Amino acid sequence: MNKDYIYLDHAAATPMDPLVVDAMLPYFSEKFFNPSSPYAPAIFTKREYQDAKARLARCLGVMADELIMTAGATESVNLAFNAANGVSLISAIDHDSVINSAKARSEVKLIPPMKNGRIDPNVVKKMLTPDIGFVSVALVNHELGYIQPIEEIAEIVKAERLRRQENGESLPLIFHTDASQAAALIDVKIKRLGVDLLTLSAAKVYGPKQVGLLWVRPGVTLKANIFGGGQELGLRSGTENVAGVVGFATALELAQKRRSAEVKRLRKLREELVKDLRQAFPDMLISSDMKKSLVSFLNISFSGIDAERLVFLLETRGVLVATGSACAANSGTRSHVLASVGLSESEIDGSLRLTLGKLNDDKNIKRAGEFIIEAVQAEMKRTSR
């Protein structure tokens, strides 16, 4: 990538940390062995793979044999929904991978969010009827950045599960969360969250793409999606991606060490960016809740302006931004997330998702603000003719 670009799309992809690359490189050359082979070098490679899983487990506060390694968050989500029975209760603002996985397997009911993007636990409680067998709410929303009250929702799910057990009702109740957008800046301790299944992606924590995991609470029954040699407890067959899992473990450990300082740094950068933009555009809509969203997220809207044109104009100025999630943008449809929180079509069409990260600093955020102001003012002038 041109080093002069200002990258404001860390929610779509993060660059691999150089220390992650260094940790992975040996497994592309001298440690290339298949972990299932019977000779000493392969056995040693398998031990290092198992050690990497143990490192991931320590970061998450769980046991290594509870982790199923996958080829990314979408696969993990699809595997999680194999535990679904009955009707699935899903956040209306979750990622397409969650909503579409649910729809492919069962009837789906969508939990409407509040205007700020919060999923209200009381609404979940009211919607948790006896026919619901699976609940899924992302820990951090992928467009607004809202940090959801997962622990509160988990308590409600547990209470309903206990009620069913006491009344002899046979339908199990499982709670899943996709924590992919959270782990770089939130200490994801699974037992504290109280969920039954948790999805994570290496690609969102400055690790390699196409590497993910699904944590499975002991006692939860899953069916495999991929069949073959029986790797990952028979739930995800295929030769283990040793390099990828070592990279994932290294990335998550680095995120834990740097998290506190990075949260403070990004909060300051976001505040400065908002200050500059608000000064230029007092009527600018900020859809991200500045107190309850992840500090790296800023979703803004300029009603009457075509955000797709803004993306193009900003790229010509060296600023890379998004209008929403990269996956949804490819579909050519309006954001279901922004529609669900009540934005008008004009506001949705004028929305930009800015997500900050390691590639940002005081200098390039200041420049980004200036370029965004220039681009928006140019579009306002063009559309007012």
Q: List residues with catalytic annotation.
A: 327
- Residue 176 near residue 195 (C-beta atoms within 8 A): yes
In a 13 Å sphere around the CA of 219, the CA atoms on its Cβ side amount to: 7
Q: Which amino acid is at 44?
A: F
Token readout for 230 is: 């029986």
- Residue 362 near residue 269 (C-beta atoms within 8 A): yes
Using alpha carbons, select from 196, 234, 210, 188 the residue that is nearest to residue 84: 196
By CB atoms closer than 10 A (0-12, 13-18, 19+), residue 1 is: exposed
Cβ contacts of residue 87 below 8 Å, gap of 6+? 106, 107, 108, 109, 129, 131, 132, 133, 134
Q: Give 329-334 contacts, CB < 8 A, sequence gap 24+.
A: 331/96
Whats the size of the chain, residue-wise? 385
Residue with tokens 């073959």: 228
- Residue 152 near residue 121 (C-beta atoms within 8 A): yes
Token readout for 94 is: 């979750």
- Secondary structure element (H or E) that encloses residue 133, with its range: strand 132-136
Using alpha carbons, select from 247, 372, 251, 350 the residue that is nearest to residue 302: 350
In a 13 Å sphere around the CA of 59, the CA atoms on its Cβ side amount to: 27
